[in-house]
Amino acid sequence: MKQKNIFIAASMLLIAAFALGTFFYKNQQTQQAEKLAVQNQAALVRADSPSFGNPDAPVHIVEFFDPACGTCREFYPLVKNLMAAHPGKIRLTMRYAPFHPGSDQVVKVMEAAHKQGKFQPTLEALFASQAVWVQNHTAQLDLIWSPLASLGLDMERIKSDMNSPEIARTIEQDLADAKTMNVTMTPEYFVNGRPLPSFGFEQLKALVDEALVNTNTK
């Protein structure tokens, strides 16, 4: 009987220690991420990054995304709905984080389309056809052209622009900024410079709601 009690007490103690350790470690990580974000605001927003919504909106979401990422595709309409629910209040800036193999070529096409003012339709067409051009987690550049055909893009210009040093620099800058902000997975969101405490749409919505309340009371 005594032995059983010792065993149960030890088990519970170990599990409690694990849970407490997890709680404190995660807390500390979140604080560090917030500090990092505050210190590196400049890395979060670059002037020419594609951006939707009211440019003077009080709530600014910055998303690091990969067009080949399935979760980015699923989150995109959710964020769009969130913006529609608060018209004029939310601005969304998209930053490239092409982590999938082959994605670096696809984001070059997106940036070239951005130069033609067609970033958003290109993004939506790529997300809608993701199953076609992403195979085995690898982006296939030659399969993206037919989904983009109906958008009215100047394809000749896209194909010459996408290899320009200017676009290469933009992508490099975004990747460098992702590294600075410790973005290792996509999508990663920052709401008015604050990272999500943990990943999930509810967490994103909570941060946005909090930011909306803060701006309403000001």
Partner 1 sequence: MKPSVWTLVFGAWLIAAIATLGALFMSDIMGFAPCVLCWYQRIFMFPLVFVLAAGLFPFDPRVMRYALPLASVGLLVAGFHLLLVAGVIPESLTPCRQGILCSTVQVEWLSFVTIPLLSFFAFLVINALLIVAYLKTPP
> Which residues in this chain contact partner 1 in the complex, by CB under 8 A?
3-4, 6-7, 10-11, 14-15, 17-18, 21-22, 25-26
| Stated length of the chain | 218
Q: How many C-beta atoms surround the C-beta of residue 78 within 10 A?
A: 12
**Smallest distance from partner 1 to CB 103, Å:** 21
Pick the closer one to partner 1 by CB: 26 or 169: 26
> By C-alpha distance, which of 154, 80, 171 is closest to 123?
80
Least distance in angstroms from the C-beta of 55 to partner 1: 36
Pick 22 or 163: Cβ nearer partner 1: 22
Helix (H, G, I), strand (E, B) or coil at 105: helix
Smallest gap from Cβ 183 to partner 1, in A, equals: 14
| 93 φ/ψ angles, rounded to the nearest 5 degrees | -110, 135
When the beta carbons of 41 and 198 are compared against partner 1, the nearer one is 198
Dihedral angle over CA of 99, 104, 108, 110, nearest 10? -40
**What's the min distance (Å) between Cβ of 147 and partner 1?**
33
Of 40, 87, 78, which is closest to residue 59 (Cα–Cα)?
87
Nearer residue to partner 1 within complex by CB, 26 or 159: 26
Instruction: Provide the minimum distance between the beta carbon of 7 and partner 1 in the complex, in angstroms, as a whole number.
Output: 6
Task: Report the residue number, 14 or 78, with the smaller CB distance to partner 1.
Answer: 14
What's the min distance (Å) between Cβ of 104 and partner 1? 22
3-state SS assignment for residue 164: coil
The half-sphere exposure of 2 on its side-chain side, counting CA atoms within 13 A, is: 0
Decide whether 144 or 178 has the Cβ nearer to partner 1: 178
What residues contact residue 52 under an 8 Å CB cut-off, 6+ apart?
A: 83, 91, 92, 94, 120
